[in-house]
Every structure is written in structure tokens, then in C-alpha cells.
Amino acid sequence: MKIKNILIIIFVFVGLYVVLNFRDHNFKRAIDACVAGSQKLEKPMTIEEAKKFCKEKILTKNK
């Protein structure tokens, strides 16, 4: 019983570590895709402007 409980605790901590380390992965991918898409517009933005615009739009959409 004791070894089983220790393994469960270790598994939970490893799972939390993985989830917390990779939670921004999708957000970064969404911003990269938005920046790439903004370069295809008639009036292209600079990369910094596009990142700022995309972050604002993505964050307001999630709330």
C-alpha cells in the first residue's frame, strides 16, 4: 500500500509539472499564426505591432 501511494503522489507531481510548463504553448502558437496572417493583409503591420494586436485580441476573446 505504501509504495502505491508514493507512486501516485510522484505521478501527480510529474503531471502538474508538465501541465504548468506547457500551458503557454498553444497561446504562443496562436500569436505566431496571427502574426503570420497579419503579414498577408493589404496594410501589413510590423512584427511588434502585430504581436501587440494579436495578444490583445486573443486575451480579450478568452475572457
| C-alpha distance across the termini of the chain, in Å | 44
Backbone angles phi, psi at 42, to 5 degrees: -65, -40
Choose the weakest-confidence range: 12-16, 48-52, 58-62. Answer: 58-62
pTM: 0.55
pLDDT: which is higher, 37 or 8:
8
Among the listed residues 58, 1, 63, 61, the one whose alpha carbon sits nearest the alpha carbon of residue 29: 58
Among the listed residues 19, 51, 24, the one whose alpha carbon sits nearest the alpha carbon of residue 38: 51
| pLDDT per position as a tens digit, 4-20 | 999 999 999 999 998 88
User: Which residue type is seen at 54?
Assistant: C
Q: How far is the C-alpha of 40 from the C-alpha of 60, rounded, in Å?
A: 23
User: Which residue type is seen at 17?
Assistant: Y
**Confidence (pLDDT) at 62:** 60
